[in-house]
Structure 1
């Protein structure tokens, strides 16, 4: 599987406010904004305009949900005041003298300077932001994509009427907009420095006052790492906004690839040509002809759109948008432009009918518009922060596949969930589901869902990562080619705390990583990152299985309704990997004092193998026995040092291949946080592939540049000891006190080779039931891969849940878990 482009996209939409009785544009947006969250809704130059701001998302379907929720909120608020909301470039019935600019010093200055131009800024657009971290690339992309911007304008055209008259244009907003001095096609500049110098020159003329007045059709954002599309009209239908977002992202991805490959922009990217193409699109919309940017000649608009979509297919497939964009494109071409629909309404009912149609379309029910909201869920939410939540949209509706879950919880209500929660504890007692003696393993009843698109990506990325790490461990304890070829420094390997000479005992044809556990986090936009690898003694699979059994007994109506793999399938995969060398298998534990002893018992029972302690083993006649049972494969749930101490002769059995340790001794090298930073290079070196899953950006304090970065940015970063387990020693800069930061600074300075720093990821949250309320808690995902002839991703994963107010999910730090549904 090729790496999917996990490029986030977000949208800002502008909406007119109209009086439902007179159908006139009215300056009432400030009333709506009083009751809407200011992080998602804001005012604009004119007091008749409300702007909404979506979250950024990797998946276009998630963006659609968010946009629909924002529309629901602003429409509901407007109707409470007898107002309607219109998403269109212009509104046909306007009394300019009755309208005012928003009381803001910047806007009042603009009114004074630009006079009628500012007073007539009675237009609305849709802006799309696509994530581009490198600002030099963002600047170059703005120019390179510009020939296709007229096609996006044509798709959005919704402003045929101006001040009560038909303008003759599909997008008269474009002509009004282009009266500003810094609008139009993006200039051809080659770097961010050159672009910033140009902006400084423009401000220096005194014609504009700040960078926010750069209104090019495409521009690098001046406050977030994105490239921003500004040319479209506001669109009455939310599906059309999503289509614009999908196409613009695909254009950006295509041009990023073209820059990497050294391909030049198309000849029609010259600003003077793009301006003529834009005029044609504003005049005709989809109902006439557009200029084909590649051929440089006019063609039917619908043909140009189809050819654009077909040409973007590789990029659309890489972002996972192909099917949805095709569906949205078919709908847009079937309906035609809003401009054409408005003219049809005018022919039958005049301007009032046009406004009514626009209000209706803006409010219209769509496939992304839930039929009902969960009122009892809302009562449990309080001031729930949905800014990075996986399950709940900010207005309390369900995100993605969570409709079934939230509907069921809504039926139960707070008291019903509390009753199930009490029953859960009794079931845990019955199952013996403890972590440490007499402490129930914390489990939340609200399941986490990993959508099929995500799980397919994770399966491919986890398989790839496991293959590379398996090769690395054999190489590191063998010929060390990766050192000889200068990919990883030798001292990083031999100096790692997890490096053990016993690792050299493992025969080269043995499998070292029979089972691996990989910790992943997801951010609010939907990017997945690998947080760390667990190749030594990965735990958690038993608890993941137990969570499913718990759910089946406590909330059976949920489990029966969802097609997700059963625990027995996970056991089948694990058993297959462990018994590949031999069926003479035993699971070894340190005993009941181990905090995860419950899991050891569970796995041994489900695998149907003996559960033994080191003292139960003995070597006789060159073979390993547990009592009278011969053991050829030892599924290890203890540190190898404990085995060597009790059974020193075990080294010879491992070296001869008579006994296979799963996992192999010395695998702790692969858990090292400094080694983690090199896994992407391992994937390239050993497999010749591009990494499918990203690491969290990591800085090695052993390197002078990394140490400087970490010490300079300590309050912003997460710092970890390279050999830390269970969250021990982790300090999260944004959450740490000044005393904690100074203490860890001293530790890092004294032993820099023992520390790494990582960027702080805004980790996604998930609803957790506590004290009768829903609370967003940080979650991660531990996924498991069993390695036989090929990697096999276990169809069961463990979601770990941080304690209240924490970002650390480890059980030893108060974290819990929840059932995880892999769709």
Structure 2
């Protein structure tokens, strides 16, 4: 070997004030008490850099990192400070930046302005001994394809300026803003590298050779090749893993050079794309493979591909066993970005994230040994809400997941039989066509934590209020059209528009009961998939599922603060009779036993004290809606019809629906939910809801929507027609999952049919980007298996003003069949109990 292949490292470490969890600018004071050859200053006074001695083995590298951190922990602890090895400190803010006072750093701040002020970031630099600078330069150009994997393994900076950035490594994105950051491209020798560097200095863009912030470079101060790509790693073992892989990659490149092997290099834009992909997704998404013309791979597969390819070099260097063990450990527990987001998800507190990073930085090298149970045999996949990397239950499921995992096949089958018997005896079912089907319930409950529910409460009540204001405006003055937010034909030509809805009195609450279908994004946050405003179903099913759970699995550990879905029954009645001051008679108008949600109609009427009626039970007398058999006046009519109210008729009264509408037009009966609400239920109108929130409420949307294309727009239509096989396409007036096509799961013939349908009638369709639903364990005859889930939550409104909307104390989790992402019951989906934690602080 020409290269020495020794190892060294430099770690940049944040200083954290243990009281405030914010950055502390006391580095100069601390450095005065530390050895200068091992600890140094950085651009910002909130950071200390450690400089490791040269070592030969990964074991020695681990020992030296731990030793330097230990000494620093002792010094900082006396000042009520801590160190955090992470790309960004979770609570860092722009105001925390304080420049280290040297002439060089002062000049940099003067020249680069905000670029310097935002450098509240910390990285890991790994050095591999290559004293021949010509060789080092040539190797640097060849190792570029491995760098995205190393960045993904190190990613530890999802939070910046107090918020989740959407990146696993925002540090690397910030770092790439330096004019000398990134890849150098292939260079032939040190002279060529030095000429390039001198040219950059001559431009005045950089001041000196130390500012060569390339991904990989010959070190400016040591006979090494230096890796500068990675975030600082809280766990020492992650840093050791990266060092082992980088050294093996250097050796592999050296061997290629020795054998004069010609390697096709990746184009610079592709390298930037691969690095961006790694910064964005970390280990939870996809990475690009190692080829010059790369394809996408799931991140764990890309990591294992790299390790496999470098196995000969790892074995030669004596690192194979260490690296192969460490890589599986890292993939099992996730990188730091994954762990930070999991910590935040429990309570929604950034302080918990800070505490995690500080604790991991303190040691031991592989993190705290966990006492959590392991669900051996469970098929873990990214996006699982209950089971995390390493097959350990996430904190909210520590008691629940082992309970179900421990059930024997016989006991699981017995519980399933008891569930099915209970469902039959209580009539828990729904109707599809002429067939009555049982409502499939999985016994593993889903948990929504207290802080998540608070977030949903704010976001969904905001959305519901905006939708209500839009409906009142659309059937009134249509200010949203006058002010240019929507076009006239967006409203009056929409599929859900009903002219008779304009007859209702001004100020009438049109959508007092709204349902929202939600999914989790890749970081565990929620986004709205669909709005359901006509007649959203699910409340009675949620109540029944909780009763089923209490009967069939009463021994599952219940968390404190569990909300009771049955409270929706009183809430429904209060909402319907709010205009009448809570007095009077409310009725639920159903299409009858043939209705798909007949079970819900019966259950809600019985539980909420509503009169259950069909067309045959109603009449209009003296301009009031009455119950025919008793003459009792109906003050509020909850519409749960399969068709339109105007089409409602009975054998001796073909105009019953129109006559009821006449009564509603004078305010003598309250209709919930009113005719014409399909305008907001229209899938095409979903695109405009964020604009409605800003227009009517003057607020920014608190919950994201899924990127959606309105196909009446020619530019969007042409784009979608090219991508039907990559998108989800839906009819704008579709319900129950009917007509939904998930492009990547469809065959070519089906995609072609949908493309033709869209081209023929573009106004009838919308398209959405594919968003993978999160996963949740379900109990099957084979044990626990993951299935895709969504969530339907409900907001009840008595008006559109603040304080007049309430998120109900329940939600219905819908479960897709195996290998499917369609959760609707009519398409084979089921449901599970949703355990919402709502009490206490």
- TM-score normalised by structure 2 residue count: 0.61
Distance 1:757 1:724, change over 3 A: same
| TM-fit CA distance, 1:466 | 0.3
After TM superposition, list the pairs within 5 Å mapping 1:81-160 onto structure 2: 110=139, 126-128=154-156, 130=158, 141-142=174-175
After TM superposition, list the pairs within 5 Å mapping 1:185-196 onto structure 2: none
Asked whether the equivalents of residues 138 and 226 of structure 1 are also in contact (C-alpha less than 8 Å), the reply is no
Deviation readout 1:709-760 (Å, 9 max, x if unpaired)? 1111111100111111111111100000101000001100001111111100
Q: Report the equivalent of 2:660.
A: 650
Deviation readout 1:9-37 (Å, 9 max, x if unpaired)? xxxxxxxxx999x96689xxxxxxxxxxx
After TM superposition, list the pairs within 5 Å mapping 1:126-275 onto structure 2: 126-128=154-156, 130=158, 141-142=174-175, 179-180=224-225, 183=228, 221-224=275-278, 226=280
Q: Report the equivalent of 2:634.
A: 631
Q: Report the equivalent of 2:419.
A: 424
**Counterpart Cα distance in 1 of 2:702 and 2:266:** 37
Asked whether the equivalents of residues 531 and 696 of structure 1 are also in contact (C-alpha less than 8 Å), the reply is yes
**Counterpart Cα distance in 2 of 1:766 and 1:178:** 51
Asked whether the equivalents of residues 370 and 397 of structure 1 are also in contact (C-alpha less than 8 Å), the reply is no
After TM superposition, list the pairs within 5 Å mapping 1:435-584 onto structure 2: 435-436=430-431, 437-558=435-556, 560-582=558-580, 583-584=584-585
Distance 1:800 1:610, change over 3 A: same
Specify the SS of the correspondent of 2:437: coil
Deviation readout 1:13-64 (Å, 9 max, x if unpaired)? xxxxx999x96689xxxxxxxxxxxxxxxxxxxxxxxxxxx9xxx999xxxx
541-550 vs 444-453, greater mean Cα deviation: 444-453
Specify the SS of the correspondent of 2:810: coil
Q: Report the equivalent of 1:730.
A: 740
**Counterpart Cα distance in 1 of 2:791 and 2:469:** 24
> Of residues 355, 377, 397 in structure 2, which corresponds to 1:327?
355
Q: Report the equivalent of 1:280.
A: none
**Counterpart Cα distance in 2 of 1:175 and 1:798:** 60
Deviation readout 1:544-588 (Å, 9 max, x if unpaired)? 111100001011122645531113322222222112023310111
Q: Report the equivalent of 2:622.
A: 621
| TM-fit CA distance, 1:523 | 3.3
Asked whether the equivalents of residues 632 and 658 of structure 1 are also in contact (C-alpha less than 8 Å), the reply is yes
Distance 1:563 1:495, change over 3 A: same
Q: Report the equivalent of 2:825.
A: 811
Distance 1:798 1:736, change over 3 A: same
**Counterpart Cα distance in 2 of 1:175 and 1:553:** 71
Specify the SS of the correspondent of 1:631: coil
Distance 1:543 1:59, change over 3 A: farther
| TM-fit CA distance, 1:326 | 4.6
Q: Report the equivalent of 2:834.
A: 820
Distance 1:736 1:125, change over 3 A: closer
Deviation readout 1:498-524 (Å, 9 max, x if unpaired)? 100111022122111110011111134
| TM-fit CA distance, 1:246 | 10
Distance 1:89 1:524, change over 3 A: closer
Q: Report the equivalent of 1:389.
A: 384
Determine whether 1:398 maps to 2:431.
no
Deviation readout 1:294-317 (Å, 9 max, x if unpaired)? xxxxxxxxxxxxxxxxxxxxxx99
Distance 1:786 1:177, change over 3 A: farther
Determine whether 1:741 maps to 2:751.
yes
Q: Report the equivalent of 1:768.
A: 778
Specify the SS of the correspondent of 2:644: helix
**Counterpart Cα distance in 2 of 1:178 and 1:756:** 59
Specify the SS of the correspondent of 2:391: coil
126-135 vs 543-552, greater mean Cα deviation: 126-135
**Counterpart Cα distance in 1 of 2:455 and 2:734:** 28
Specify the SS of the correspondent of 2:531: strand
**Counterpart Cα distance in 2 of 1:560 and 1:247:** 25
> Of residues 716, 719, 722 in structure 2, which corresponds to 1:712?
722
Q: Report the equivalent of 2:239.
A: none
**Counterpart Cα distance in 2 of 1:112 and 1:210:** 8
| TM-fit CA distance, 1:777 | 1.3
After TM superposition, list the pairs within 5 Å mapping 1:268-287 onto structure 2: none
Specify the SS of the correspondent of 2:729: strand
**Counterpart Cα distance in 2 of 1:613 and 1:124:** 60
| TM-fit CA distance, 1:667 | 0.3
Deviation readout 1:186-205 (Å, 9 max, x if unpaired)? 9xxxxxxxxxxxxxxxxxxx
Asked whether the equivalents of residues 614 and 643 of structure 1 are also in contact (C-alpha less than 8 Å), the reply is no
Consecutive unaligned residues of structure 1, counting only runs of 5 or more, are 1-17, 27-53, 61-87, 98-105, 147-172, 187-205, 250-315, 339-357
| TM-fit CA distance, 1:665 | 1.0
| TM-fit CA distance, 1:457 | 1.1
| TM-fit CA distance, 1:771 | 2.7
| TM-fit CA distance, 1:641 | 2.2
- TM-score normalised by structure 1 residue count: 0.63
**Counterpart Cα distance in 2 of 1:402 and 1:714:** 38
| TM-fit CA distance, 1:452 | 1.9
| TM-fit CA distance, 1:762 | 1.5
Deviation readout 1:644-670 (Å, 9 max, x if unpaired)? 432121121010000111001100111
Deviation readout 1:153-209 (Å, 9 max, x if unpaired)? xxxxxxxxxxxxxxxxxxxx99889944784899xxxxxxxxxxxxxxxxxxx9998
Q: Report the equivalent of 2:38.
A: none
Asked whether the equivalents of residues 565 and 822 of structure 1 are also in contact (C-alpha less than 8 Å), the reply is yes
Distance 1:695 1:145, change over 3 A: farther
Deviation readout 1:458-506 (Å, 9 max, x if unpaired)? 1111000000000000111111110111111111111111100111022
Specify the SS of the correspondent of 2:485: coil
Distance 1:212 1:791, change over 3 A: farther
| TM-fit CA distance, 1:392 | 1.3
Asked whether the equivalents of residues 139 and 219 of structure 1 are also in contact (C-alpha less than 8 Å), the reply is no
**Counterpart Cα distance in 2 of 1:804 and 1:743:** 25
**Counterpart Cα distance in 2 of 1:505 and 1:107:** 79
**Counterpart Cα distance in 1 of 2:724 and 2:229:** 43
> Of residues 816, 820, 838 in structure 2, which corresponds to 1:802?
816
> Of residues 402, 410, 414 in structure 2, which corresponds to 1:407?
402
Consecutive unaligned residues of structure 2, counting only runs of 5 or more, are 1-54, 63-85, 93-122, 159-163, 180-217, 232-260, 284-322, 650-655
Deviation readout 1:113-138 (Å, 9 max, x if unpaired)? 89xxx9xxx99993336486899x99
Q: Report the equivalent of 2:700.
A: 690
> Of residues 617, 641, 644 in structure 1, which corresponds to 2:644?
641
Asked whether the equivalents of residues 243 and 328 of structure 1 are also in contact (C-alpha less than 8 Å), the reply is no
**Counterpart Cα distance in 2 of 1:632 and 1:820:** 33
Asked whether the equivalents of residues 212 and 222 of structure 1 are also in contact (C-alpha less than 8 Å), the reply is no
Asked whether the equivalents of residues 221 and 227 of structure 1 are also in contact (C-alpha less than 8 Å), the reply is no
Distance 1:655 1:387, change over 3 A: same
Specify the SS of the correspondent of 1:223: helix
Distance 1:694 1:738, change over 3 A: same
Q: Report the equivalent of 2:77.
A: none
**Counterpart Cα distance in 2 of 1:711 and 1:248:** 40
After TM superposition, list the pairs within 5 Å mapping 1:67-82 onto structure 2: none
